[in-house]
């Protein structure tokens, strides 16, 4: 009997010790990671101050690439990261930097030729208003929302993503393209409805989310990148891709935008169909068999040469930020996936040494392989969603 008890004790110890490395591997020292992120961004701010420009990425030749002064869908993310660092540190250096760099594109609030106003103005002025209650910031959000909703077509039920009269997109024979990324522009509209009491913005956001829910998803809850609509009848004309590997493939960042976008829809509406869709998308991402053990996806889940394809840290950063919020609402438990992705992003493989990587925090993201643009580079939005995820994680730890 004693022998059997000893055997059971040894067996239990073996099980316990064999589990420990996994727990250790994924251990996240969020304060230390944030400290490192702040130091690196302080260096990035220094180079921005010298150039007077907003950093976006690094070129194939290894030079800093600043945002386009005329308009750049990524221009809100650098001031947005500064707002998050202000939130974390309460240091006015970050508040002043955020204010200064978002001011550079304030005039873009009047643009009606682009759907990215939600990305641009929510990450910058939206965070600024949340943290400071500066009424002038709220006015900017309202003007940007009014510009954005000019692109809503009631026959389709969506906000048009790209104009089709010029640029590379004019060669695609589209009438009214809507990309899954556009789900990310809805947060600005939901927020502006809450701030003003005017439900116009929220109603448009809900219509867009419902139409996208109907047409963008496959049976396995992966998403098409582009759905093109007939602008008169609202009928679906085509389901295709622009930044993914193929029309039928699952572009990794698209899946990330989808899970984030529907989590936000649930936050504002508490409509359970959005929660369920977000859970399905999350499960698709988490359970995808060919994603490596570290949880950082290849740039497209169906890319042709997996495992010899670039990973996309930006998709992982967006996803993990969404999962932390989703975890609050869902009965499912995403903790293991959150810990795995965050600890991978915080590892040497994805986090740059201080002063390297042109002072961006994360390495190994992908902009658009079909456009041969930004392949295996740092991206300002990878850093933004990573810092956001770290703050969300910190807040989660303080409550639990
Ligand atoms: N359109 C935003 C992106 O490239 O993900």
> Is the CB–ligand 1 distance for residue 116 below 6 Å?
no
The answer to whether 396 and 31 have CB atoms below 8 angstroms apart is no
Question: 233-238 — which CB contacts under 8 Å span 24+ positions?
Answer: 233/155, 234/153, 234/155, 234/156, 234/157, 237/174, 237/175, 238/174
> Is the CB–ligand 1 distance for residue 181 below 6 Å?
yes
* Rounded-to-integer distance, Cα 189 and Cα 204, Å: 8
Ligand 1 centroid to residue 390 C-alpha, Å:
22
pLDDT at 9: 46
Ligand 1 centroid to residue 399 C-alpha, Å:
33
Among residues of the chain, what percentage have pLDDT more than 90? 92
pLDDT at 5: 52
305 to 245, 299, 376: CA distances (angstroms): 11, 11, 15
Encoded tokens for 150: 């000019």
For the segment 184-196, the average pLDDT, to the nearest whole number, is 98
The answer to whether 133 and 127 have CB atoms below 8 angstroms apart is no
- Whether 181 sits among the annotated catalytic residues: the reply is yes
For the segment 184-199, the average pLDDT, to the nearest whole number, is 98
Domain extents in the chain: 30-399
pLDDT at 6 over 90: no
- Whether 312 sits among the annotated catalytic residues: the reply is no
Catalytic pick among 72, 99, 181, 383: 181
In the block, residue with structure tokens 């869908």? 73
For the segment 376-398, the average pLDDT, to the nearest whole number, is 98
* Rounded-to-integer distance, Cα 396 and Cα 145, Å: 30
pLDDT at 15 over 90: no
The preferred substitution site among 77, 160, 253 for testing ligand 1, maximizing ligand atoms within 8 Å of CB, is: 253
The answer to whether 183 and 260 have CB atoms below 8 angstroms apart is yes
pLDDT at 1 over 90: no
Atom of ligand 1 nearest to the CA of 254: 5
The preferred substitution site among 71, 73, 254, 313 for testing ligand 1, maximizing ligand atoms within 8 Å of CB, is: 73
The 10s digit of each residue's pLDDT in 299-339 is 999 999 999 999 999 999 999 999 999 999 999 999 999 99
Question: Phi and psi at residue 326, in whole multiples of 5°?
Answer: -60, -35
Encoded tokens for 155: 């026959």
* Rounded-to-integer distance, Cα 145 and Cα 267, Å: 19
Contacts of 398 (CB under 8 A, 6+ apart): none
pLDDT at 20: 33
> Is the CB–ligand 1 distance for residue 72 below 6 Å?
no
Atom of ligand 1 nearest to the CA of 184: 2
Is the Cα torsion angle 53, 54, 56, 57 positive or negative in sign?
positive
Going by alpha carbons, the residue nearest to atom 2 of ligand 1 is 181
**Residues composing the chain:** 400
Encoded tokens for 124: 């910058």
Atom of ligand 1 nearest to the CA of 257: 5
pLDDT at 22: 36
Cα angle for residues 147, 151, 155 (degrees, 5° grid): 145
The 10s digit of each residue's pLDDT in 131-172 is 999 999 999 999 999 999 999 999 999 999 999 999 999 999
Ligand 1 centroid to residue 358 C-alpha, Å:
21
pLDDT at 24: 45
pLDDT at 27: 74
pLDDT at 400: 83
pLDDT at 14 over 70: no
Going by alpha carbons, the residue nearest to atom 4 of ligand 1 is 367
The answer to whether 241 and 229 have CB atoms below 8 angstroms apart is no
Ligand 1 centroid to residue 181 C-alpha, Å:
6
Confidence at 25, pLDDT banded by 50, 70, 90 = low
Helix axes 272-287, 252-269, angle to 10 degrees: 150
Encoded tokens for 83: 């707002």
* Topology classification of domain 30-399: Glycosyltransferase (1.50.10)
């Amino acid at each position: 009997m004693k022998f059997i008890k000893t055997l059971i004790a040894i067996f239990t110890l073996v099980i316990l010790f064999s589990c420990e490395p996994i727990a250790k591997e994924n251990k996240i020292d969020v304060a230390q990671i944030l400290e490192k992120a702040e130091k690196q961004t302080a260096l990035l701010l220094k180079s921005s101050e010298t150039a007077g420009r907003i950093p976006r990425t690094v070129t194939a030749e290894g030079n800093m690439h600043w945002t386009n002064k005329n308009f750049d869908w990524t221009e809100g993310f650098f001031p947005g990261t500064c707002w998050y660092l202000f939130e974390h540190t309460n240091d006015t250096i970050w508040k002043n930097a955020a204010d200064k760099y978002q001011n550079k594109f304030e005039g873009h609030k009047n643009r009606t030729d682009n759907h990215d106003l939600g990305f641009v103005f929510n990450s910058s002025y939206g965070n600024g208003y949340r943290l400071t209650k500066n009424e002038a910031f709220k006015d900017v959000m309202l003007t940007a929302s009014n510009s954005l909703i000019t692109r809503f077509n009631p026959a389709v039920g969506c906000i048009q993503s790209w104009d089709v009269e010029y640029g590379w997109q004019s060669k695609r024979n589209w009438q009214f393209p809507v990309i899954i990324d556009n789900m990310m522009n809805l947060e600005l509209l939901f927020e502006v409805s809450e701030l003003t009491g005017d439900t116009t913005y929220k109603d448009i956001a809900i219509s867009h989310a419902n139409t996208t829910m109907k047409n963008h998803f496959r049976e396995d809850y992966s998403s098409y990148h582009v759905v093109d609509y007939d602008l008169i009848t609202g009928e679906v004309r085509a389901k295709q891709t622009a930044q993914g590997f193929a029309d039928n493939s699952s572009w990794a960042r698209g899946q990330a935008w989808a899970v984030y976008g529907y989590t936000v829809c649930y936050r504002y509406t508490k409509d359970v169909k959005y929660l369920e869709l977000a859970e399905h998308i999350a499960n698709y991402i988490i359970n995808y068999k060919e994603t490596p053990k570290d949880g950082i996806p290849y740039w497209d889940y169906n890319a042709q040469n997996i495992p010899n394809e670039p990973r996309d840290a930006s998709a992982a950063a967006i996803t993990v930020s969404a999962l932390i919020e989703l975890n609050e609402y869902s009965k499912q438990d995403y903790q293991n996936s959150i810990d795995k992705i965050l600890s991978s992003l915080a590892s040497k493989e994805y986090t740059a040494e201080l002063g390297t990587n042109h002072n961006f925090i994360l390495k190994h993201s992908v902009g658009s392989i079909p456009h041969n643009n930004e392949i295996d580079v740092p991206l300002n939005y990878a850093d933004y969603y990573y810092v956001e995820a770290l703050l969300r994680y910190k807040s989660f730890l303080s409550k639990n």
